[in-house]
Amino acid sequence: MNVLLAGGAGYIGSHTAVELLNAGHQVVIVDDYSNSSPEAVHRVEKITGKSINSYEADVKDKEKMRHIFSENHIDCVIHFAGLKAVGESVRLPLKYYRNNIDTTLTLLDCMEEAGVNQFVFSSSATVYGEENKPPYVETMHRGSCSNPYGWTKVMMEQILEDAAKANPKLSVILLRYFNPIGAHESGLIGEDPQG
């Protein structure tokens, strides 16, 4: 399987790239490196001994994404691209809404044009809101968020659910993490935030 990792040079994306490559899949990484580094891609290649097609591009840029889809036979998209700082999202809500939602819409448009029907979305446990009490379970409804970052995740989940209902071929998986931490056992990749 050839998997496009949007935001694949980031913390979770780089670890996912290692696992996919070690499982025998091919990986295409698209990242603008606003909160990551090209060095992460080189380190993934070092860990796995495999090469990666990588592109420095903004996932919101539909023309660049169309080009990437046309150059690679993509079977599945895993969407990690997005701004993720809660405090910054409160100070710069429009930046978060524009960036995070536009990346999802661009990916969905390009997937539809290319006939790609498998989508995995990196969401967040923040979507459970304060109405739901731990322990959280997958069947709980989304709650109310306390910040724009969380609301972008809620909105993107809704967009993806609506897209899947409208297109029975589209398979969507939502991943709701809490606080992922740690580093790869090699010590070569781990959390490395910019700013």
Query: What 3-state class would DSSP assign to 97?
Result: helix
Any residues with CB less than 8 A from the CB of 97 and at least 6 apart, and which? Answer: 148, 151, 152, 155
97 labelled catalytic: no
Q: Could you tell me the two tokens for 139?
A: 């069947």
Question: Bridge partners of 27?
Answer: 3
Copy the structure tokens of residue 137.
């379970």
> Which run of H or E residues covers position 45?
helix 38-48
- DSSP class of residue 82 equals S
Distance CA 147, CA 133 (A): 18
**Distance between CA atoms of residues 45 and 21, nearest Å:** 9
Task: Give the C-alpha separation, 118 to 36, whole Å.
Answer: 25
- Rounded to an integer, what distance in angstroms lies between the CA atom of residue 117 and that of residue 120? 10
Choose, from 96, 128, 149, 177, the residue flagged as catalytic. 149
> What is the spatial distance between Cα 18 and Cα 16, in angstroms, rounded to a whole number?
5
The residue type of 158 is Q
Which residues are designated catalytic? 149
